[in-house]
Structure 1
Amino acid sequence: MFSKKSIRKVFLIKLIFSLASLILIFSSFLYFYIENSILEEKYQEIVKYAKNIAHNKSLYDSVTPLIPDLYLGLDVEIVQLKKSHIEEDLYQTSKIDKTYLTLIYPFNLDDLSYLKITKDISGTKKLLDKILHYIFIINIAGFLLAVVYSITLSKMLVSPIKALSNKLSDMNEHLIRPIKTENLPEEFESLGATINHLILRIQNFVKYQKELFIGTAHELKTPLAVIKLKNQVTLLKKRSPDEYIEALRVTNKTIDEMNNIVSNILNIGRQEGMQLDKPQEVDVIAILSKKADDFKLLAENEGKELQMNFEPSGFTAMLQVGLLNQIVQNFLQNALKFTPKDGKVTLQSSLNKYGLLIEVIDEGCGVDESVDLYAPFKRQGNKQGVGLGLFLAKSAADALGANISIKNRTDGTNGTIASLNLSSKLSCTLP
């Protein structure tokens, strides 16, 4: 499920939140580390004073140089407590603008006397406040940099999509060019390849549509010219009834040819309607078997033999049944039309790496593989026809996402092999 929310906006918010949280957590740890380090140093300093006094030693350390300012703000006194308190006690107090660090240290446990050492750490506290202030300023600057970085990164990530969108928006049916996938980031190469595949299909569709319109005009113009010429010749002088009948017979035959062309063009419209039909889960082998039974009687009536060989015994797939029927029917019609009397036509299926391969093998005259067999009004062989059958079959195969091919046999026998390869995607073999 896709959301209508902007992917870039969601990514931008999450990235800003993540970076801001990272900055806040890092700066907090940094400040607490600095504060603990400085206060620990002050604590150790006071403990050192207490130990020296408790052991009757000088406050001065012979190792450390004498620094008078070091002892400023230091207050030492002896206090007595009502009960024994052996452990050290360290606490911090504040009075007005001053901050003090106080240590209670055991001095003479016999009379419950303790050293109370107080150190003025106001300067240290001010230093920590300045550090906190600077860290706060750095956090604000870091947050602003995170926002700028996030916006820049989000723009960079969606820029290929915008480039593809601009490229596609500049295209029309007269100016369709494939996208250069080598200029795209690796993550968008598959999308570019898919768009190029779609563009190729659109180019073929536009090409075939143009050829269809031109071919239709040409095919209809010729019989109309024949009808007009025949009528003009007939009207030049009076004719016998038989001659008028012959003229009408030729006219009717020509009209039948025109009707055949119009019927095939209507089939193209019906096929586009089939492409919009909802795919159904069907057993393809069962459909092939039924279609073979229908054509078997037709083949026997023409003195030809239709053989069947289906493997596997079942193959279910999601597809538009009408488009599959149209392709198989066209293959069988062409095979029976071009196969001579006493010849044999084979309808078979088998599994391959791509999916289910359906083949119709005939013993006809073969095809010219150097021409575009799927272009409208392209006729092959010495039989009459409109030349739209393979055009319709190719369009149906493209709608099914299947591959179609027409090639000559290579087993030493004349004839062709018409094949349809259904993808195994969303399909499976029935046991």
Structure 2
Amino acid sequence: MVANRSIRNQFLTQLIIASSILLIIFSTMLYAYIKQSIYDELSQQLVKQARYIVQTFPDYEEGEKIDAKNLKNALQITAKVIPPPHRFYSSIEWRERESNGRYFIDLIYPYNLKSQTYLLVSKDITNVSSMLKKILRSIIIINLISLILIVLYAFGLSAMLLVPITRLTKKLSSLNENFLTTIDTKTLPEEFVPLGESINKLINRIQTFVKYQKELFIGAAHELKTPLNVMKLKNDVTLIKKREPEKYIEALQLSNKTILEMNQMISSILEIGRQEGAHFELPQTIDIIDFIRKKGEDFALLAKSENKTLKLDLQPKSVVGCIQTTLLNQIIQNFLQNAIKFTPKGKKIILKTRQYDENKIKIEVIDEGPGIDESIDLFAPFKRLGNAPGAGLGLFLAKSAADAMGAHISIKNRKDGKSGAVATLILTTTPQCELPIN
């Protein structure tokens, strides 16, 4: 049997059950309170009568009835002296009984200690019992009517509460990559504002992703078409007439070089596909500082081989966090590769970490290269600095990885008066979504 996953049906069921239980408990307590109050009042009357009889008529014999005319406020009360129903003791007893269709409450009260007799004071409570039954029937009828009203109220309340959810559902169901608009959170109830803001953040990320994907495809087509046209033109010119063997060799070498560049570009595009798979990698709990230290030590050897220095300035000594290691490795590797590429020989590169906030860490790679043009979006695909070799997809991949991790990435020129750039990653050390339970 398929479980009912309707929020409205679950809400209706829970509200009706909870309200019904509460109504039954309240009605039971009300009836018990009314009954107990009436019986307490009757008990007090009988005890007063018993005390009055004991004090006023102390000489009645066993089995003798007490004339009701002599009793004070003795309406529907009878009294007589009886032997002890069990071992004599100086306390009172209560009992209810039915006789000939009528109901009575009896008080057995110690009367004479010497003769060990009791006083039986009885009161006809038939009218009281009838009244209590009417009250019980009235409470049951009221409960049934209240239950019907509760059901109607539950239907109305559930419909009202589901209006914002229905609105969000219709909004989301109408979204596609050509029609992505954010939700106006001002029209949402206060409780749904965080959900609306989260959806807007997701929509913005989707818009950015779609934008970058379109730029990537257009850029890839352009970047591949241009060398192909150049190679074809060169081959056509070469084939117009017979030439020396050296010219054919030169044309073939140029073609091989162009093919190699195109192959590198295709490899970079394939790397984007592999990275998109890494977006779904489960975060791992690691020592982030130790991870960065090991990566920095590896690149320090590469920098040394090119007569450059990579210095590690890592603080604090340890920061344990839950992150996607493949994506972090992609970003750090790109930062360090660019820094080594653009830093002249004999210059220095600094890999620096600092605690940025309670659960954030700031990672910086500072180089002594020529700096950047801050008016250019370096994170767009196929953006290159100067005449640097490469497909221009490294920073695009780094930005995509940072977005997937919920991190902030930026590249700025140095502000300390020296030439060079500062690549910054502000990383949250806790996962940005709930992890699946294994």
Contact 1:361 1:418 in 2 (8 A): yes
Unaligned stretches of 5+ in structure 1? 65-69, 427-431
Shift, 1:11, TM fit: 5.3
Which residue number corresponds to residue 171 of structure 1? Answer: 175
1:4-19 equivalence runs, <5 A: 12-19=12-19
Q: Which moved more, 1:253-262 or 1:97-106?
A: 97-106
State the match for 1:67 in structure 2: none
Any idea what SS the aligned residue of 1:410 has? coil
- Between stretches 86-95 and 295-304, larger displacement belongs to 86-95
TM-score, length basis structure 2: 0.80
Q: 2:192, 2:155 → 1: CA distance?
A: 20
CA distance in 1, matches of 2:176, 2:31: 61
The corresponding residue for 1:25 is 25
CA deviation string 1:196-215 (max 9, x = no partner)? 22222222111111111111
* Map of 1:194 onto structure 2: 198
Contact in 2 for aligned 1:80/1:112 (Cα 8 Å): no
Deviations 1:210-269 (A, max 9, x none): 111111111111111112222222233333333333333332232222112111111112
Indicate yes or no: 2:325 matched with 1:321.
yes
Q: 1:372 aligns with which of 356, 374, 377?
A: 377
2:396 corresponds to: 391
Q: Deviations over 1:357-410 (max 9, x none)?
A: 221111222222233221111222342332111001111222333321111111
Pick the aligned partner of 2:129 from 118, 125, 129: 125
The residue type equivalent to 1:330 in the other structure is N
Matched, 1:256 2:256: no
Which of 421, 425, 428 is the aligned partner of 1:416?
A: 421
Note the C-alpha offset of 1:320.
Answer: 3.6
Q: Which amino acid aligns with 2:178?
A: H
Ranges in structure 2 where 5+ consecutive residues have no aligned partner: 58-66, 432-438
Note if contact 1:366-1:408 (Cα within 8 Å) is conserved in structure 2.
yes
Residues 198, 95 of structure 1: alpha-carbon distance in 2 compared, 3 angstrom cutoff: same
CA distance 1:153–1:82, change in 2 (3 Å): closer
Match of 2:227 in 1: 223
Contact kept, 8 Å, 1:365 with 1:381, in 2: the verdict is no
Figure out how many residues of one structure are paired with residues of the other and give that number.
Answer: 415
Distance 1:393 1:245 in 2: 39
Partners of 1:373 and 1:390 within 8 A in 2: yes
Cα drift, residue 165 of structure 1: 3.1
Alpha-carbon distance in 2 for matches of 1:6, 1:304: 64
Distance 1:91 1:189, change over 3 A: same
Q: Structure 1 stretch 128-137 or stretch 172-181: which is displaced more? A: 172-181
2: distance between equivalents of 1:236 and 1:6?
75
Give matches, 1:45-194, under 5 Å.
51=52, 54=56, 74=76, 76=78, 81=83, 91-101=95-105, 119-194=123-198
Give distance in 2, aligned partners of 1:79 and 1:285.
Answer: 97
Q: State the TM-score, normalized to the length of structure 1.
A: 0.81
Q: Deviations over 1:83-129 (max 9, x none)?
A: 98987766543234333455667888898898766554433332222
- Indicate if the aligned counterparts of 1:12 and 1:150 stay in contact, CA closer than 8 A: yes
CA RMSD in angstroms, aligned pairs only: 3.6
- Checking the alignment, whether the CA contact within 8 Å between 1:46 and 1:117 is kept in structure 2 is yes
Greater mean alpha carbon deviation, residues 35-44 or residues 402-411: 35-44
Q: Structure 1 residues 255 and 58, CA, compared in 2 at 3 Å: closer, same or farther?
A: same
> Quick check: 1:78–1:113 contact (8 Å CA) kept in 2?
no
